[in-house]
Structures are given as structure tokens and as C-alpha cells.
A and B are shown apart, each in its own frame.
Chain A
Amino acid sequence: MENMGHMVEELLHELAVLPMFSEHIGTFTLTNYTFFLLIALALTAVFFLVSTRRLSLVPKGVGNVVEAGVSFVRDGLCVDILGSENGRKYFPFIGTIFFFVLFNNLIGLVPGALPGTGTIGVTVTWGIIVFLVYNSIGIKKNGLVTYIKSFVPSGTPMLLMPLIFLLEIVSHFLRPITLGIRLYANMYAGHIMLGIFTILVTISIEHLTPGSAVTGVLAFVMRVIMHGFEVFVAVLQAYIFSILTTVYINGALHASEH
């Protein structure tokens, strides 16, 4: 048990935000998470730039995958929620979010790699980008005064107005934070869980007894199943992040209507 405590501590240390290299420019360093973030960035860019060069009317090969993904986000998400015109207009933004988050989530499932989204610095930054974008869309569409007025639903009693307004402001400012923390927590917790199962397997092999063999096999099976589950979570979290972004944009677009 003493051993396990050490190993868990080691795991947590591994998953903590650490400088990747000893060299740094001023105070700027590349952390272990942002290192993989950049790898995911390169992979996403290369994948999209290469696969979209040779598209044909009859889809084949990689083009098929790209088209399926793009059509899933554009038609199943943007157009479905925002309508045809706005959906197409804001698809590049939402699509970038979806695919970048997805690639980051998935790269973390490669053994030895970390998800770029497994650190709060990255996810909350993206949450704030979403926050800025949807608010500026709302202001541009409705005008600043109408947009801020729309925080209070029409027909609210005069006395309640400040309270509702305050609540609404708080909920708006919570959005980027929850958006970021949700993604970070899912990725981080998923990796801790996978790590714990790995530790269980390791321990039961190190202190091999008939009893520990059973535990080890069970832990190993669970480890494999959980890895599959994490793939599902990776896709689901990318989906949730982008669907919430879309919903926020939709709310900003139709702010004056309620």
C-alpha cells in the first residue's frame, strides 16, 4: 500500500504542469501539455491541409473521413442550431474548436502522450475565446445597448431587475470557466483513472501471488475497457464544447428576441 501511495503521487506529478525543456525564453517555457498541444496543432493542420487537397465528387479514402467530420459539425451542429445561413457563417470557428479539441483529446490517448486539453491554462483560454467571440457577435448583431438590455427578460418586475441582471452577468462570466473546467476535468480525471488502473496492474505483477494475479487480470481488462471509454469521452467532450459554443452564439444572435 505504501508502494501504491508513492506511485499515485508519482502519477500526479507526471500529470502536473511541468516545463518540458530546461531551456526557456525569459519566463516563457513550453510545458509538457503545451508541447503536445503544438504536436496536435501540427497534426490537425497537416491532416486537414493534406486531406482537403484532393477531394473528388465521389468521396474516397481520407477525403471521406474529412467530409464526414465537416458535414457532422456543419450540418449536424451549426446548421441544426443556428440555421442555414448563420450556421455556414460561423462554421469555421466552431469547426476549428471541434477539430482542435478532438485532436488534442485523442492525442492524449496515445501511450506516453498527454492531451493538450488536459491543463486548465489551455481550456480556459479557449473558453475565454468563445466568451469574447459570442459576446462580440451579440453586440455586433444587436447593438451594445440592446444586447445588455436583453440580459433582463422583458416583463421582469422593476424590483427584481438588478438581481436578475446580476445573476445573468454572473452566469455569462461562468460560461467560459465551466467550459474550460469541464474539458480539463474530464481529460485530467480520465488520465488519472487510466494511470490508477496501470498502477494496479503494475503492483499486482510486482508482488505476484495467486490473489494478485486475479486482481491484475481484472485491472488490466478494466484498463483496456476504460481506454476505449476514454476515446468515447474524448469525442463527447469535443462535441459538448462545440455544441455549447454554438448554443451561446445562438443565444447572442437572438438576444433581442426575449
Chain B
Amino acid sequence: MEAIIPKVPEVLVALASFVVLFILLSKLAFPPVTKMLDERAEKIRESLEKAEETRVEAERLLDEYRVQMAEARTEAAKVIEQGRTVAENMKNEIVAKAREEAEAERAKAIEAIQTEKASAMAELQASVADLSVAVAGKIIGQKLSAADHAALIERSIAEVGSLNEN
């Protein structure tokens, strides 16, 4: 029974020491600690918020750069495409011009040949006529009248002409 009856001295000491400690701790010890804890919580919250802000900003910048990059890429593609078209055109032009020139050259050459051929032909006809007359005169030994002469030439020319046509 005795062990569970509180002793008065103990009660007094317990009461007094509790009151003393309560005053000491609540006035001197707890406020700095709780203040520090709250400050730290605040600080951490702020840091987290700041980090979040920075992250959002970075993401925004990244997106911006991405858009810019894509724009630059299309721009470059466009420039290249343009260059290609220009070059293509230029090439086509050059080729066409060259072809034209070659054509002209050829035409000129053909014309020259044609003229040459015609003159040669004419010359040939003349000499063939003269030659034939001379040969015929020699063979026949008689002089042909001017009329006969002309008729003979005509016939010969016709013959040579038909020859030439073949």
C-alpha cells in the first residue's frame, strides 16, 4: 500500500521542477528551435518554388529554341531548294543555248555544203556539156548547127540531171 501513496516531498519537487523546466524551455529553448524549423521549412518551400520556376523557364526556352531551330531548318531547306532551281534553270539554259548554237552551226554547214554542191553541180553540168559537145563533134566530125547544139545540150543536161537525182 505504501508504495503507491505519493510522498509529499516528491510531489513538491516534481511540481516545482516541472514548472521551472516548462518556463525555461518555453521561454528560452523552444522558440529558437521552432523558429529555425519554420524558417527552414519556408526556405525549402521557397527553393522548391524557385526551382520549379527555373524549370518552367528552361522548358519555355527550350521550346523556343526548338521552334527557332525548326524555322532555321526550313529556311535552309528553302534556300537550298532555291539554289537548286536556279542552278537547274541555268543548266537548262546553257544546254539549250549550246544546242541552238550547234544546230545553227550545223545548219550553216549544211547550207555551205548545199551551195558548194550546187555550184559544183553547175560547173559540172557546164563542163559535161562542153565535153560532150567536143567529144560528139570529134566523133561525128561534123559541125552541128547551133540549133542542134542547143538541143543536144538540153538532152544531155536532162540525162545528167536524172542521173544526179538517183
Residues on A facing B (Cβ under 8 Å): 16-17, 27-31, 33-34, 37-38, 41, 44-45, 48-49, 52-53, 55, 57, 59, 66-67, 70-71, 74, 88, 91-93, 95-96, 99-100, 116, 119-126, 129, 181
Q: Please tell me if the beta carbons of B10 and A74 are within 8 angstroms of each other in the complex.
A: no
27 contacts between A and B (CB under 8 A): A17-B7, A27-B9, A29-B9, A34-B13, A34-B14, A37-B17, A38-B13, A38-B17, A41-B20, A48-B29, A49-B28, A52-B30, A55-B32, A57-B40, A67-B33, A70-B33, A74-B37, A88-B34, A92-B25, A92-B26, A96-B25, A99-B25, A121-B7, A121-B8, A121-B10, A121-B11, A122-B13
Cα A57 to Cα B32 with chains together (Å): 11
Q: Please tell me if the beta carbons of B21 and A100 are within 8 angstroms of each other in the complex.
A: yes
Q: Please tell me if the beta carbons of A70 and B18 are within 8 angstroms of each other in the complex.
A: no
Cα A173 to Cα B163 with chains together (Å): 154
Q: What is the interface of chain A mostly: helix, strand, loop, or mixed?
A: helix
Chain A neighbourhood of B33, CB < 8 A: 52, 55, 66-67, 70
What 0/1 readout, one digit per residue, does chain B (78-105) give for beta carbons within 8 Å of chain A? Answer: 0000000000000000000000000000
Q: Which residue of B lies closest to A188 (CB)?
A: B3
Q: Known contacts A67-B33, A125-B15: does B9 contact A28 (CB below 8 Å)?
A: yes
Q: Please tell me if the beta carbons of B10 and A91 are within 8 angstroms of each other in the complex.
A: no
Interface status of B4 (Cβ within 8 A of chain A): yes
Chain B neighbourhood of A74, CB < 8 A: 34, 37
Which 7 A/B pairs are nearest by Cβ-Cβ distance? A121-B10, A92-B26, A48-B29, A121-B6, A125-B14, A122-B14, A34-B13
Chain A neighbourhood of B24, CB < 8 A: 45, 48-49
Q: How far is the CB of B43 from chain A (nearest CB, A)?
A: 6
Q: What is the interface of chain B mostly: helix, strand, loop, or mixed?
A: helix
What 0/1 readout, one digit per residue, does chain B (116-150) give for beta carbons within 8 Å of chain A? Answer: 00000000000000000000000000000000000
Interface status of B39 (Cβ within 8 A of chain A): yes
Q: Please tell me if the beta carbons of A95 and B30 are within 8 angstroms of each other in the complex.
A: yes
Q: Please tell me if the beta carbons of A37 and B14 are within 8 angstroms of each other in the complex.
A: yes
Q: How large is the interface on B (under 10, 10 to 19, 20 to 34, 35 or more residues)?
A: 20 to 34
Q: Which residue of B lies closest to A58 (CB)?
A: B40
Chain A neighbourhood of B22, CB < 8 A: 92-93, 96
Q: Please tell me if the beta carbons of B10 and A122 are within 8 angstroms of each other in the complex.
A: yes
Not counting A38-B17, A48-B30, A129-B15, a sample of 13 additional A-B residue pairs whose C-beta atoms are within 8 angstroms of each other reads A34-B9, A48-B28, A52-B32, A57-B43, A70-B34, A96-B21, A100-B17, A100-B18, A100-B21, A119-B10, A120-B3, A120-B5, A126-B14
Q: Which residue of A lies closest to B20 (CB)?
A: A41
Q: Please tell me if the beta carbons of A125 and B43 are within 8 angstroms of each other in the complex.
A: no
Cα A74 to Cα B40 with chains together (Å): 15
Q: Which residue of B lies closest to A53 (CB)?
A: B32
Selected from B9, B10, B17, B26, the residue in CB contact (under 8 A) with A41 is B17
Q: How far is the CB of B101 from chain A (nearest CB, A)?
A: 87
Q: Please tell me if the beta carbons of B37 and A71 are within 8 angstroms of each other in the complex.
A: yes
Interface status of B36 (Cβ within 8 A of chain A): yes
Chain B neighbourhood of A34, CB < 8 A: 9-10, 13-14
Q: Known contacts A37-B17, A92-B25, A95-B25: does B34 contact A125 (CB below 8 Å)?
A: no
Q: Please tell me if the beta carbons of A181 and B4 are within 8 angstroms of each other in the complex.
A: yes
Cα A91 to Cα B30 with chains together (Å): 9
Cα A31 to Cα B18 with chains together (Å): 17
